[in-house]
Amino acid sequence: MNKSITVGNLIQSRNCNLLTSHSVRQDIELLLSQVLHCDKTYLYTHWDQLLNKKQMKQFQSLFNLRKIGIPMAYILEKQEFYGYDFFVKSGVFIPRPETETLVSSVLSHWNHQEELNIIDFGCGSGCIGLSLLAFFPKARLISVDINTEALQVSKINAKNRGMTDRVIFLNKNVSDLDKEALFISTPVDLIVANPPYIAFNDNRVEKNVVSFEPPEALFSGEQGMYHIHSWLKVASYLLRPGGMYFFEVGVGQDVSSLRCTVNKMRKKAMFKDLLGHFRVIQYQKCYG
């Protein structure tokens, strides 16, 4: 690329169509914003600004990463979720916009001043649990993940949001928590989860997702239902009577087998995402 290239030249460059993305222009804007430490508005009000040699070298380096399919979130080391940028890195599941439905579903059911005890199963970057803490200032959170890298990232995000003193981190397999209930010493009001729910033989998953994101956060046995069944059972052990469990499922996923999974839990509701797909299921632990 020309050393004296401008912001506008880069955004309109035909060479950039090598990127493996359906939104090439947006990707270039994000890379330029990273290099110039600015927002999108700045780019379009400084269309003729020349990039110096150092900036061009940095852009080219990021551009090359994107060309081989590395997710933008890993390149920028951040992903926006529920109005806040969360730190992410390779080895940690990238937050998705559809998972915001999970947070919104929970927020519609509680007074924001309640002193809730929350558990985030498979917390990943911490985006779900920490987003809830932002809306429930008196709540406390237990973040659980088998992935040590994910827990470290979640700790960083908790620190960035000033929430470290409200979170306990457990490096545990969620499916084993029913055997380790002593770790959860307080009555649990709410459990949230985005479990692995993709069947191993599902060929609809994007190549870049399979290539770069942690498979343990994506795939589950029993045609994508193993973790959904297992984690629902664990929730039935840990929740107080009347407590709620909200979890995400895949688009069009057959969850009919959940009806006979756990007799202590009763399905309360299902929630649609912005595209009209059922994405979140709410269960309540029965009284008595």
Tokens at residue 92, please? Answer: 């940690």
Tally: H helices and E strands in the chain: 11, 11
**Eight-class DSSP state of 114:** S
Tokens at residue 194, please? Answer: 């985005």
Which string of b and e fits 251-270 if b means at least 16 CB within 10 Å? eebebeebeebbebbeeeee
- State yes or no: is 160 an active-site residue: no
- State yes or no: is 194 an active-site residue: yes
Is 165:131 a contact under the CB 8 Å cutoff?
no
For tokens 């994506």, what's the residue? Answer: 218
Phi-psi region of 139 (alpha: psi -120 to 50; beta: other; left: phi over 0): beta
Q: Distance (Å, rounded) from C-alpha 238 to C-alpha 88?
A: 29
Tokens at residue 99, please? Answer: 């998972």
The side-by-side arrangement of strands in the sheet containing 167-170 is: 167-170, 140-144, 117-121, 188-193, 239-248, 278-285, 265-272
- State yes or no: is 247 an active-site residue: no
Q: Which is the catalytic residue, given 93, 121, 136, 169?
A: 93
Is 135:118 a contact under the CB 8 Å cutoff?
no
Q: Which is the catalytic residue, given 194, 219, 246, 247?
A: 194
Which positions are annotated as active-site residues? 93, 194-195
